[in-house]
Chains A and B, each alone.
Chain A
Amino acid sequence: MAVLVIAEHDNNILKTSTLNTITAATKLSDDIHLLILGKDIETLSNNAKTIHPIKKILKCDNSKLENFIPELSAPIISHIANGYSHILAPASTFGKNLLPRVSALLDVTQISDVIEIKSENTFVRPIYAGNAISHVETNQNINLLTIRPTSFEKCEETGGSASSEDVQFIDNDVKTIFIGREVSKSDRPELGNARIVVSGGRGMENSENFNLLYDLADKLNAAVGASRAAVDAGYIGNEYQVGQTGKMVAPELYIAVGISGAIQHLAGMKESKVIVAINKDTEAPIFNIADYGLSSDLFQAIPEIIKELNLLNKLES
């Protein structure tokens, strides 16, 4: 049977999380359909036709769908759900906001945050902030899964030639009005899929000091992240939070600066390939999982690292 992937996008381009979710779908079926709900999505849908694993694009283009209000999207999805064995969405705030509503409409239990697909009905997911791994089995007619993007590679974006079909917009007397979005603009790579992440914690002391990390990040072409403590203290926006109740990241290199290493933080970054910890407290738990630990004052260490990187760059050029 076919598998449906719900696209996360901004009405212009697909988010990388969609490409990761499509890869998860390839473990379930060769017949993968991509559902795009949005406003003025003609170009977006046309571009998506070349995504290798996608056989069919389903689209619903309506001005009311511009801001992804789940009360409007969920009925559209549940209306077409019958043709599918599985419906997948990224385990991002977009997918988390939407897919449970679909589960309510279809009366099935959703499986959140899938990190591995063992078979058509057996899935693996972390629980307790990743301190335990649960293998679950289900025999429901339709399986709803949110997929942890960092656990699946991006799919090929070229080589495909999907067909395209419109799906019916279902109007609904929705009470919610979208007012606006405060989105931080930056030229740095996106936190969720950057190759290198430099994260700061309470040890950064204030928002000005985060400039140190921005400088380091720019030297490494890295994304910037943060602990909840740093976000709570207002040093940096909530979109940078890594951890159980923030974003999951799994870069090649994660540099934790002035972060103690609470389990809720580790939940979001311990799948990183190489972990570096910089902390002045030699007892900080972050050192227990770091590949390279540096016990030092960060205000000394970070400028020195930048200097060393500059030297390296000079040697190479």
Chain B
Amino acid sequence: MKVLVAVKRVVDYKVQIRVKSDNSGVETQNVKMSVNPPDENAIEEAVKLKEQGVAKETVAISIGDEKSQDVLRTSMAMGIDRSILVKTSNSLEPLAVAKTLSKIIEKENPDLVLMGKQAIDDDSNQTGQILSALLDWPQACFISDLKIEGNKLSISREIDEGIEKIKTSLPAVITCDLRLNTPRFASLPNIMKAKKKPLDIIDISSLGIDTDPKIKIIKVEEPPKRKAGIMVNDVKELVEKLKYEAKVI
């Protein structure tokens, strides 16, 4: 079985982001960038499948500018066999990302596509679902448990009401929740080894798909700031404030 993992390069989750002063977007220059967190879970799951002998080959793919090579190197340092960068200087909407992935999938023929449930920059939570529809493969989103036997998948998905269990079959598209597994750290020797693993670069224009944005960003603003209130001295004061000042209890 061959597994493809989609990895996005995003502003690190620990960074306190800043809105650009011209309101055109969020500052991404000179800030720490990392693998989108749930994509690390996708990588971990792929590497585990390889270690278990379920997967023969694991491939990471990222769509982005030159710098996205670093998240692919990280993926390979975690154990992914090889990777593909689809190069573009534009930031793509989920529909365009999914179309790009489906083109690569035509060539690569994976049995399973693992991705994150949501990119923590745009918080879209769409790409896996779209990809699954474009490929006409089953989708399993927000998963926290995966068992594979032959081409049968047993899956637990996190839904608002609790956990949903489904069974489906390969080929399939899966989007991972952070609770699926604990991503490993790349060890120094593995980081060195990853430098020698193959990384192909394809220009997005060679794929012949329409990736033009359908949505225009008019402006990006700071959210209204909440200011700190007061510290109360004890429980009695807290309950009195809630009752007589805020009038919420």
Contacts and interface: CB of A to CB of B under 8 A. Distances in A.
Interface stretch (B62-70, B197-205, B235-243): B235-243
Contacts of B131: 104
A132 B246 contact: no
A82 interface: no
A94 B141 CA distance: 11
Contact of B226 (A70, A96, A263, A270): A270
Contacts of B249: 196, 220, 253, 309
B124 A131 contact: no
Nearest to A8: B160
Interface stretch (B42-50, B76-84, B188-196, B211-219): B211-219
A104 B123 contact: no
Contacts of A206: none
B169 interface: yes
B26 A127 contact: yes
Interface in A227-270: 228, 231-232, 237-239, 244-245, 247, 252-253, 263-264, 270
Closest 10 pairs between A and B when the two form their complex, measured CB to CB: A104-B133, A291-B229, A100-B129, A100-B126, A179-B165, A109-B214, A304-B235, A253-B248, A104-B130, A308-B239
Interface of A: 70-71, 74, 92-94, 96-101, 103-105, 107-113, 122, 126-138, 140, 174-184, 192, 196, 220, 228, 231-232, 237-239, 244-245, 247, 252-253, 263-264, 270, 273-276, 282, 287-296, 301, 304-305, 308-309, 312
Interface of B: 11, 13, 16-17, 19, 26, 38, 93-95, 98, 117-118, 120-134, 138-142, 144, 154, 158-169, 172, 177-179, 213-223, 226, 228-232, 234-236, 238-239, 241-243, 246, 248-249
8 contacts: A135-B221, A138-B214, A183-B162, A237-B162, A245-B117, A292-B241, A292-B242, A292-B246
